Amino acid sequence: MGFTFVQGVAVGGATAVLVTMLASVTLLPAVLGFVGTNIDRWHVPRLLHHHKSSAQPSLWFRWSRIVQRRPAPVALLGLAMLILLAVPVFSLRLGAGDAGTGDRSRSSRRAYDLLSQGFGPGFNGPLLLAAELSGPDGAADLEALRQDLTGIVGVAATTPAVISPGGNAAVMSVFPTTSPQDPETSRLVHRLRDQVVPAAMAGTDTRVLVGGLTAGTIDFSDQIANRLPWLIGVVLAVSFLLLVAVFRSLVVPLKAVVMNLLSIGAAYGVVVAIFQWGWLAGVVGVETAPIDAWVPMMLFTILFGLSMDYEIFLLSSIREDYRRSGDNSMAVANGLASTARVITAGAAIMVSVFLSFVFGLDERAIKLFGLGLAVAIFVDATLVRMVLVPATMELLGRANWWFPQWMERILPQVRVERESSPVPRIEIDIREEERAGAETPPTATTVSEPSRDLRP
């Protein structure tokens, strides 16, 4: 992304995941070995999960079979809901919150409102014009520039240039007629840089730059907007290649990437509708303003990682069952049934934690970030995993696992779990005469060799 602070966050986040992974495969098994069955000693009454017999299908197995009976309409309905939630993302406008979006009880917010009422909204976000003077005519050049700025649409007032003691630098303030979050302010900054200032300084040796906090925020938003497509593209490409190597399929990874994008798009849409459009803003306790520029970047990376976590967990179970049975429909139902409880529990925990950001803190940026995470995880664990995945995989059938032979030769083998070979069919003789007093001839029957991974 080209930002130093993002690099620090990236290293910290990757390190935390790495340490957690190492602890999960070393410390956690050791602790469970010490605790043993005492892990359930103080369980919540009536909530301890007992494995059911295979003769009694679980709720999630039955739900999957219901979805698989009408996969096309169910898939269309789920897709329509995701697209509807994602529609507001096309109005996304990046910026930054300031004191004007803070709690009205704060002194900073009251001062902001007082300045806006007394002098105009632009006085809360002045632009600073820094000049490099190369001669005695520099002061006159800046005064001519100030006169030109006075008649520019969008400029409320300017201040005389303040020259440094050395005479080689100067600064002047320009106050817009609009607030720092207003899109007209952004257009004014670009117009000053591209047209007004170059035209006024043409033929002089004075160099003038447009800066200040407001202009810096606009530059930061523009940089995020320019780099975000590259970030998304690299993450999608690397994730797709890794999933292809793991699942030996082209369709399943493509579907996983698309569904992850849909769930993240839905989160973006909800965030825009509430924090930028103002829908349910009173319930959340915020005021409308542009979306903080860093939020879409951080939301995408974190949510894509969490969504892919769920995706790999679910699809690895489905693929394992498919390799054993060769039945795509039953593999989807069994995979969903075996992972739904864990996915639902994990999602419930994360949604609860993220919603605490929304209703437990008064910072707009934290509320925005928490709500985006909560919505995406909720949509991903319900609408995507429990509706779209079984419906689309039922529609595609065996095409889910199509993989060209030439790619099989060039891609490395990556295993998420140890995979058992497809169950072979063998012929055995059952000799009844081994039983005392039996005189019946031997009979032949076909049975399946039990998997070595299964326990009696």
Residues 322-361: tens digit of each pLDDT: 888 888 889 988 888 888 888 888 899 999 999 998 887 7
Closest C-alpha among 132, 133, 116 to residue 124: 116
CATH level 3 topology of 60-98+227-401: Multidrug efflux transporter AcrB transmembrane fold (1.20.1640)
Least confident segment among 116-130, 133-147, 373-387: 133-147
Task: Write out the two tokens for 28.
Answer: 């956690």
Average pLDDT over residues 110-138: 89
Instruction: Specify the pLDDT at position 417.
Output: 62
Segment holding 132, helix H or strand E: strand 127-132
3-state secondary structure of 291: strand
Q: Where are the domains of the chain?
A: 60-98+227-401, 127-211
Instruction: Specify the pLDDT at position 420.
Output: 55
**Strand 169-176 to 162-163 pairing:** antiparallel
Residues 228-269: tens digit of each pLDDT: 999 999 999 998 988 888 888 899 899 888 988 888 999 999
pTM, two decimals, is 0.79
Separation between Cα atoms, residue 40 and residue 21, nearest integer Å: 24
Cβ pair 125, 214 in contact under 8 A: yes
Segment holding 302, helix H or strand E: helix 294-325
**Angle value at C-alpha 395, between 306 and 421, nearest 5 degrees:** 70
Residues 179-221: tens digit of each pLDDT: 998 899 999 999 999 999 999 888 888 889 999 999 999 999 9
Handedness of CA 384, 386, 388, 390 (dihedral sign): positive
Task: Write out the two tokens for 145.
Answer: 């520039």
Q: Looking at the predicted structure, is the pLDDT value of residue 152 above 80? A: yes
CATH level 3 topology of 127-211: Alpha-Beta Plaits (3.30.70)
Cβ pair 345, 381 in contact under 8 A: no
Query: 60-98+227-401 and 127-211: same fold?
Result: no
Q: What is the percentage of the chain residues whose pLDDT exceeds 90?
A: 35
Separation between Cα atoms, residue 275 and residue 284, nearest integer Å: 9
Instruction: Specify the pLDDT at position 427.
Output: 37
Look up residue 423 and give its amino acid.
V
